[in-house]
Structures are given as structure tokens and as C-alpha cells.
Amino acid sequence: MRLVIKYGGTSISTAKDIHLISKHLNILSKKHRIVVVCSATSETTDDLLGISESIKKENKSAAELLASKIINRHKQLAKQTVKKIDVRKKLLVKLDKDFAELLALIDGMVLLGEVTPRTMDYLISFGERLSISLVSSAINDLGVKSIPLTGKDVGIVTDSNFGESKPLMDTTRLRVSKTVDALFLKKTIPVVGGFAGADQHGHVTTFGRGGSDYSSTIVGSCIKADEIWLMSDVNGLMTADPKIVKNAKLLKEVSYVEAIEMALFGAKQIHPRTFEPLVAKKIPIKIRSSFEVKNEGTLVTASTSSSVKNTVKCVSNVRNNGLIDIRGGSMIGTPGTAAKIFATLAKAGINVMMISQNPSESSITIVVKNTDLDKAVSVLELELLGKIIKKLEVTIDVAIIALIGSGMRGTVGVASKVFRAIEKNKINISMITQGSSELNLAFIVKNSDTNSAVRALHRAFALDKIN
Ligand code: ASP
Ligand code: MG
């Protein structure tokens, strides 16, 4: 099989864990052709973002302090991970080169006193540049051939939309397949840096936070992989948060669309565009743990087999949100009201998580994160109160409870089952949404009612017996 195996930061952040994965890769490489994709080690991308923040604040010493934190972390890991003296020496020389480039970049940015999207991408791509050298050397240490390649090296070409770039798939496909096939012929395992590529001018670009998942499916699609494995510290997708529901089950199989919905809410965050490159080729993904390799994890496919088409697959929850009820007589029958409200929020950079409007059009209710609430209310007051809005009513500390499963589509009685279960537990619902795709039914309760709502629904739909 042709396999792309992607590791999240938590799987490669101690010498012990890097040993574990390189041994696993060694065994797999005897049977399969593997491309490895790596995230940055834990905290590294955050530290790089911290460096850019410090530069913006003209705090050079804070930026340098963070850089030395990153440098020490990787030096330490290199020394602890690689045993063979020659392999270790080569790794340290390579890392030193990257460290020097990082420090020079920081100096340059400090001198200019500005952080452009382009320099920012160049800066934050360093996390993966460092992690791939570590992982690749750990594989070499076992006597297996491997080389580290950045997204740019392997041939991922993107547009120039820094911070949120998209791959130019035709060019990328040609380049990536050529690079990888040549390495396969030489029995060398490529360890590719996730998160980044380069535009047509060779400037480094990134895909946005969590973008290594996306890198792995881009590469997978280019090399016509048979499977893509996303390895992290979770065993797969679950029917509910196991901290809330004791008998929550690992889901054996879900579809791409269900996985996207679940990833937005669940413990395993997946980059939202991850499945895009796969839709045409229908390559299956497995979400697995790098610590429990015997566990098969969750299989994500273009469409799930009929045996696992349960109506509802999981109950997710997101706490700590705020609800804003926007009212105003002049909203009724006035085209453009919603557009004005959402444009105002968008301009302020506020992400709206849920929306509902009643048919009388006298109110629109939205849900945002608690942390965005103040800003949302103040921009709406400032720009629209007294004009199209008469009154804003705010509720803090609410939770979104969402039922996910494509089997809900066209199934009669799901909603009544949901609300009966909730009613029995004397929980009040303050907002409900269901998209017409019927993939997701979500409603709002008080934070403090989250656990009982999730448990009630898990029970009502017998999700402990799902597989
Ligand atoms: N290192 C990047 C981030 O932390 C990309 C990734 O982890 O997938 O967002
Ligand atoms: Mg990550």
C-alpha cells in the first residue's frame, strides 16, 4: 500500500515518543511505501507566533527569549533522540543552520519593525522545518534511509494568499509525485513538513492553524495513496466526550462530511479543508493514536457502508459561548438587515457559530464565543443600535449541544426524541438550529446543563451500542 502517515505535535514532542513512532514506521516500511508528514513539536508554532507578537510590540528581547526556548527544545530533543554519533552530528549541523536562519530572520524583522503576512508565514514555517529533521534522523538512527523535506521541497505549490493559502493542485501533483516516486525507488522514507508550501515565486506560504492535516491529504492525493493516517494522541472520533459519558464509544466508521462536523466540535481538531483533496479520489483516512498502534481508530470514507448508517453518530458539545438576541421592529420585511448585521460582525473579525431567525423576522439570534462577546455587542451597538436594531439581549455562558449523523436526513422523529430526552431532564433550550442538510441538529443550553444534556442524548440514541 501507499500510505501517508501524519503525526500531530503531541506525538513527536519527547524522545521516547519519537522512538516509538520511528520503530513503528520502520516496521510499516517493510510492507508499505510510506510518506511521513509532521506537525511542529508541541508549543513551537505558538512560540513562533509569540515571536511575531513581540516584534510587533518592538520587544526584541522577548522575541529572542522565545527563539532560544525553541532552539533549546530542539537541541535537547536531538541529543536525547539520536544515538548514533554520526547521525546525531549531521542532525545538529542541520539544526544549527536552521537556527541561524531563524535568528537572522528575527533580526531582519526587528530591523524593519514590521510583520507582513509573507514574513509571518516564513517565520511560522520553522516549527515543521525543525521537527522533520528530528523525525527523519530518528529513522536514520534505526538504519533506515530517510530524508526531511519541507512542503516547498516536496513540491507543494500554492497561491500567494499568505496565512491561508490553497494548493495549485495540477502543478503540485506533478512535482510531488515526481519527488516522492524518486525517493520510493531509492527506498528512502520522505519526512515532509506539514502546514506549509511555497507560492510560484518560491515564497513560503502556510495553510492556517492545524494545516498539517491538509498537507497530508494534498500529498496523499498527489501520490494516489491507498490510505492516509492522521496519528495523534486520541484513539479516534468518539460518540461523546468520554470525560462526560463513561460509556462513550470509539466510532469505527464515519463519512467525510460527518467527520468535518465532528472535528468542529470534538477533541480531535481537523483542519477544515482536509477532505477537499480527497473527494475526487475517495481516499480513506484513519484517525488513530500514535501511542496505541494496535487500535485501528476511526475510518473516514467518502460514504459509509450501510452497516454503520446509524441515525445519530455522536453528541458533541462546546461550552463557554454567548448568545445575542437582536431585535428590532424595522427588521421585519426589510431586505439587507441580516447582511448589515453580519457584515458589521465580520468587519470586527468575529466568528458567528450559530444563527437563527424566526419567520416573523422580528429577531435574529446568534451565538459567538464568550471571548468574542464583548466585542460583538459593542460593534453592534455602535453601528446599528437605534437604526435597524432596537434592542440587544445577551446571555453568557451557554453551551452548544450538537447531534451529528447523516442518517438523520429524512428520518422522522429525531427531533421529538431529542426534545423529549431533554425535557425529561428539566433542561431549558434557548435556541435551536438544523441546517437543511440534516447532518447536524444543534441547540443551546446553559453551561451548567451540558453534562446532563449530553448524557441524556447519548442514552436516548443508545450510542453506547453503536458499533
Ligand atoms: N504547526 C501548525 C499549528 O500548530 C500546523 C499543525 O499543527 O497542523 O497550527
Ligand atoms: Mg497541530
- Ligand 1 and 193: CB distance under 6 A: no
Residue 417: phi and psi, rounded to 5, are -65, -40
- Ligand 1 and 45: CB distance under 6 A: yes
Beta strands 391-404 and 314-327, pairing class: antiparallel
- Ligand 1 and 211: CB distance under 6 A: yes
Q: What is the largest CA-CA distance in the chain?
A: 76
Fold of the domain spanning 314-465: VC0802-like (3.30.2130)
- pLDDT tens string 1-50: 999 999 999 999 999 999 999 999 999 999 999 999 999 999 999 999 99
| Predicted structure pTM score | 0.88
Q: Where in the chain is the domain with CATH 3.40.1160.10?
A: 2-233
- Between the CA of 312 and the centroid of ligand 2 the distance, in Å, is 28
- Ligand 1 and 195: CB distance under 6 A: yes
Q: Which amino acid is at 461?
A: F
- Ligand 1 and 163: CB distance under 6 A: no
Q: Which long-range contacts (CB under 8 A, 24 or more apart) does 431-435 make?
A: 431/323, 431/354, 431/356, 431/365, 431/367, 432/356, 433/354, 433/355, 433/356
Residue 327: phi and psi, rounded to 5, are -120, 155
- Between the CA of 274 and the centroid of ligand 2 the distance, in Å, is 13
Q: What is the mean pLDDT of the chain?
A: 93
**What are the distances in angstroms from CA 194 to CA 259, 367, 420?**
20, 32, 45
Q: What atom of ligand 1 comes closest to residue 207's alpha carbon? A: 5
pLDDT of residue 268: 67
- pLDDT tens string 334-364: 778 889 999 999 999 898 999 998 887 788 9
Query: For residues 352 and 372, what is the distance between their CA atoms, to the nearest angstrom?
Result: 9
- pLDDT tens string 100-113: 999 999 999 999 98
- Between the CA of 232 and the centroid of ligand 2 the distance, in Å, is 9
Q: Where in the chain is the domain with CATH 3.30.2130.10?
A: 314-465
Please enumerate in sequence order all residues whose Cβ is within 8 A of that of 365, keeping only pairs 6 or more positions apart, or say none: 323, 324, 325, 326, 354, 355, 356, 357, 431
* Range list of H helices, 126-211: 126-141, 151-154, 169-185
CATH, domain range 2-233: 3.40.1160.10
Radius of gyration of the chain (CA): 24
As to burial, measured by CB atoms within 10 angstroms (0-12 exposed, 13-18 middle, 19+ buried), residue 346 is exposed
- Between the CA of 10 and the centroid of ligand 2 the distance, in Å, is 8
- pLDDT tens string 143-186: 999 999 999 999 999 999 999 999 999 999 999 999 999 999 99
- Ligand 1 and 215: CB distance under 6 A: no
Residue 260 above 90 pLDDT? no
- Between the CA of 45 and the centroid of ligand 1 the distance, in Å, is 6
Asked whether 135 and 191 are in contact (CB, 8 A), the reply is: yes
The least confident of 157-166, 273-282, 355-364, 447-456 is 355-364
